[in-house]
Amino acid sequence: MTLAKKLGIYQRTGAGQAQQLVETHAPLVKKIALHLMARLPESVQLDDLMQAGMIGLLEAAQKYRSNKGASFETYAGIRIRGAIVDEIRKGDWVPRSVHRNARRVSQAIKTVEDRLGREAQDAEVAEELEMTLAEYHACLSDANGGRLFSLDELNESGEVPIEETDGSDNPLADITSNAFRRSLAEAIEELPEREKLVLSLYYQEELNLKEIGAVLEVSESRVSQIHSQAAMRLRARLSGWQSADSGL
């Protein structure tokens, strides 16, 4: 549904508190769009992301229930980000080869860690892929743009579902969601310290790549590589959930 249609429905049915929520939190859409756009291809337009984000905000205002515990800003942020993620997926600006290489890296990380019983180092993953270290880092940089939402997908609407649900369609959905959240939290906690810090600064503190680079005293491109590797490491360590979910 287009933003114009959504607005039309909202204007006819949305009033009072919902309208006030949208008006008050409209700047949140631009903030999230800019935060995500910093790591997207130049061909992506801010207006497109903001339009998608506004749809997410409208849906959040219509569905939000204060007795659920989360603040509206937290709830809306998830919905806005999810709507923008969906828009990026539809655009598919990234070559198939980049997606293919991202899957190869994730599998290589899993193979090395399963074999060694510890976290895989850059050089070890590069060797597993039969690449030089420079080639591996270049692959991470390419994949970072292609799989921008690796962590977001795991958190929101990727291969393993943890979307908020009332459980009416699938009584196991809430159980699966809560169990996955615990597994994800544990997997993040077990990441190498630098990768964990990058994710925390980007997703929780909402710093951009340049700001994170200043904190870590590394280049912006290196931050991008670290983020990409962290997301792929999480995907590798949580890969069992994909097959488990297919049986629900």
Same fold, 3-91 and 96-245: no
Prediction pTM value:
0.60
Triad 178, 185, 172: Cα angle to 5°:
15
* Residue matched to tokens 């607005």: 7
- 3-class SS at 157? strand
Residue 154 near residue 234 (C-beta atoms within 8 A): yes
Q: Which residues contact 179 (CB under 8 A, 6 or more apart)?
A: none
Least confident range from 34-48, 76-90, 181-195: namely: 34-48
Domain chopping of the chain, boundaries: 3-91, 96-245
Residue range 3-91 forms a domain whose CATH class is mainly alpha
**Fold (CATH) for 96-245:** Butyryl-CoA Dehydrogenase, subunit A; domain 3 (1.20.140)
Q: Residue 184: which of 208, 162, 209, 214 has the closest Cα?
A: 162
Task: Tell me the C-alpha distance between 31 and 200, whole Å.
Answer: 18
What pLDDT sits at residue 213? Answer: 92
Amino acid letter for position 132: T
> What confidence tier does 214 reach under pLDDT thresholds 50, 70, 90?
very high
51-98 pLDDT, tens digit per residue, is: 989 998 998 888 887 656 678 888 888 889 888 877 777 766 566 677
131-186 pLDDT, tens digit per residue, is: 999 999 988 877 665 444 445 444 433 333 333 333 344 444 455 567 777 788 88
Tokens in use for 4?
């114009």
43 φ, ψ to 5°?
-70, -15
Average confidence score pLDDT of the chain: 75
